[in-house]
């Protein structure tokens, strides 16, 4: 649904269109002509009321929402963050999905008929089973070999060619 804000000139044009008596009235009154009040005529102002109600809904925020989808909010000032000040922490989901790659420690690697799996210990001192494709807070498991687990960590550096970096965690780490 698109939201359009009607400029004042358009409102005036609509008012002139919906009120033919105003549009046809001479710009300067003729001498001797008495001013005729508009009370005698039946004026249709429903279109103007509808436009004004639409503007009120837009201004109240009933018709417009913003979903950042992981991007920076463009309506938030860039000058609000001070140098050396950390950005507010994002609430992490519970479990393995809320842990950083740096916070897990590889405990064991097992080869099964369905593939190779790894056991890791998280920051909450619980053990988790991971396989290629398992998501963590800042990356995912790319591949598991008999001696190491390779993670694909997301990097937010626009200068790098790849938007990710490979982090290798060995079994002895």
- Is the alpha carbon torsion for 99, 167, 155, 131 positive or negative? negative
> Would 136 be classed as within a structural domain?
yes
Average the pLDDT over 93-110 and give the result. Answer: 91
> Would 38 be classed as within a structural domain?
no
Give Cβ neighbours of residue 137 (< 8 Å, ≥ 6 apart). 92, 93, 97, 98, 99, 100
Cα–Cα distance, 137 to 145 (Å, whole number): 22
> Would 158 be classed as within a structural domain?
yes
67 with 100, same domain: the answer is: no
Confidence at 23, pLDDT banded by 50, 70, 90: very low
Q: What is the pLDDT of residues 61-91, one digit of tens each?
A: 555 566 667 777 777 777 765 555 556 667 8
Q: Can you give the pLDDT at residue 117? A: 93
61 with 116, same domain: the answer is: no
Average the pLDDT over 94-119 and give the result. Answer: 91
Q: pTM to 2 decimals?
A: 0.48
> Would 77 be classed as within a structural domain?
no
With a pLDDT cut of 90, the percent of the chain lying above it is: 30
- Split into its structural domains, the chain has a count of 2
Residue span of the structural domain in which 125 resides: 95-170
């Amino acid at each position: 649904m698109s939201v359009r804000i009607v400029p004042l000139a358009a409102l005036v044009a609509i008012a002139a269109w919906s009120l033919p008596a105003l549009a046809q009235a001479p710009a300067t009154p003729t001498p001797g002509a008495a001013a005729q009040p508009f009370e005698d005529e039946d004026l249709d102002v429903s279109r103007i009321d509808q436009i004004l109600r639409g503007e009120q809904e837009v201004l109240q925020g009933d018709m417009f929402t913003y979903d950042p989808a992981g991007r920076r909010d463009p309506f938030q000032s860039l000058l609000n963050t001070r140098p050396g000040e950390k950005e507010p922490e994002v609430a992490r989901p519970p479990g393995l999905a809320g842990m950083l790659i740096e916070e897990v420690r590889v405990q064991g690697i097992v080869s099964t008929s369905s593939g190779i799996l790894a056991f890791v210990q998280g920051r909450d001192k619980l053990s988790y089973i991971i396989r290629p494709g398992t998501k963590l807070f800042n990356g995912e498991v790319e591949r598991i070999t008999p001696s190491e687990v390779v993670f694909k960590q997301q990097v937010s550096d626009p200068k790098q060619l790849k938007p990710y970096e490979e982090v290798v965690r060995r079994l002895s780490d």
